[in-house]
Amino acid sequence: MPLGIVNRVSEVMGRERMSIAELARRSGLSYPTVYEIYHDRTGSIAFETLDKLCKTLEVGVEELFKYDPTYERPHRPN
């Protein structure tokens, strides 16, 4: 079943040449939190976390996540 939400956080971080550790440090989020988001391994994200990501990366939510009703999230082993 398609999820519909495409996580583009890693693309934005790559464009900014920002590492997981740097984003965690600058945003105040924990390294594991940023790691899970970067690798698209999270099922939900708190608004507070989204706010910190947007402020730190200086982008809107629409740049970090995109809605595509046909998108099927790849299966990722734990």
pLDDT score, position 70 = 83
Residue stretches of the chain with pLDDT short of 50: 1
* pLDDT of res. 17: 97
Taken in order of first residue, the domains within the chain and their CATH numbers are 5-67 (1.10.260.40)
pTM to 2 decimal places: 0.85
By the 8 A CB rule, do 4 and 68 touch? yes
Q: Say what the pLDDT of residue 76 is.
A: 60
User: Which pLDDT tens digit goes with each residue over 12-21?
Assistant: 999 999 999 9
